[in-house]
Amino acid sequence: MAGGRRREYLEAIGIDLWVPRTARTAPAPLAEAASVAPGEAAREESAADVSARWQALREEVLHCTRCPLHLTRTQGVFGVGPKRSDWLVIGEAPGAEEDRRGEPFVGAAGQLLDAMLRAIGLDRTRNVYIANVLKSRPPGNRDPKPEEVAACLPYLVRQIALLQPKIMLAVGRIAAQSLLGTDTPLGRLRGRVHYFGELNTPLVVTYHPAYLLRTPGEKRKAWEDLKFARNLYQQLTQGTVNGHRP
Ligand code: SF4
């Protein structure tokens, strides 16, 4: 991305470029990742197969009654973006606006997320897929219940199997803890590479844009996370690390 545009986006997310930042040293987890053996290769499928399975999965989600959230939602929110993307961003659950429009991360938090993603060259219309752990809105935007996450997570796992992203970015505590199966505070999950699922997809954690809107002082940390993820992605695609768990 050209310097001028990056400046524009960083200003949009509230990052002051003229304030010196401490350079993040090469993260230890990257070194760990460099020494790992490759896992099993993903099963080869034709584009038509993938497209058919994607559509079937989408229909399943839109008609799902696996948990009580189907009783109160307006519609299921499957996700948005190209079906084969290197990047997968995962949030917690649809809010009121997402429930109404059927798309994740719309409204003010969505606009901030889009600005954050654009700052590292990502756009939901071109090269990043965006989804949530829960596909249906919890009433009153309450936190998801563990049994709701357990009911819904298999859908995301199937989405990941079809998308085969090279890197995942979990935004917010609920998404990060749900995906990693931990109750470790978000602050301690940041700044390192985790791995998700059978494909051992590298996963980086950052703050939820709704939290950043309430706590703008944390935007600088979110920018550090984005740079960390971008550097990891560059190393993954350049082959200087591989994407598998040590
Ligand atoms: S949240 Fe998930 S499991 Fe629950 S009804 Fe919606 S799609 Fe089904």
**Does a structural domain hold residue 136?**
yes
**Does a structural domain hold residue 13?**
no
The answer, yes or no, to whether any atom of ligand 1 lies below 6 A from the CB of 120, is no
The number of folded domains in the chain is 1
**Does a structural domain hold residue 226?**
yes
Give the residue with greater pLDDT, 1 vs 52: 52
Over residues 9-37, mean pLDDT: 47
Q: What percent of the chain has pLDDT over 70?
A: 79
The answer, yes or no, to whether any atom of ligand 1 lies below 6 A from the CB of 61, is yes
**Does a structural domain hold residue 146?**
yes
| pLDDT tier at 243, thresholds 50, 70, 90 | low
Q: In a mutational test of the pocket of ligand 1, which residue from 132, 136, 155 has the highest number of ligand atoms less than 8 Å from its CB?
A: 136
| Predicted TM-score (pTM) of this structure | 0.84
Tell me the C-alpha distance between 110 and 133, whole Å: 16
Beta strands in the chain (DSSP E): 87-91, 128-132, 167-171, 194-196, 201-206
Give the residue with greater pLDDT, 242 vs 92: 92
| pLDDT tier at 240, thresholds 50, 70, 90 | confident
The CATH number linked to 204 is: 3.40.470.10
Which range marks the domain in which residue 178 is found? 46-238
**Does a structural domain hold residue 15?**
no
pLDDT over 90 (residue 48): no
The answer, yes or no, to whether any atom of ligand 1 lies below 6 A from the CB of 66, is yes
The pLDDT value given to residue 32: 39
Closest atom of ligand 1 to CA, residue 134: 1
Task: Confirm if 205 and 190 have CB atoms less than 8 A apart.
Answer: yes
**Does a structural domain hold residue 125?**
yes
Q: What is the pLDDT of residues 9-19, one digit of tens each?
A: 666 666 655 44
Centre of ligand 1 from the C-alpha of residue 149, in Å: 8
**Does a structural domain hold residue 123?**
yes
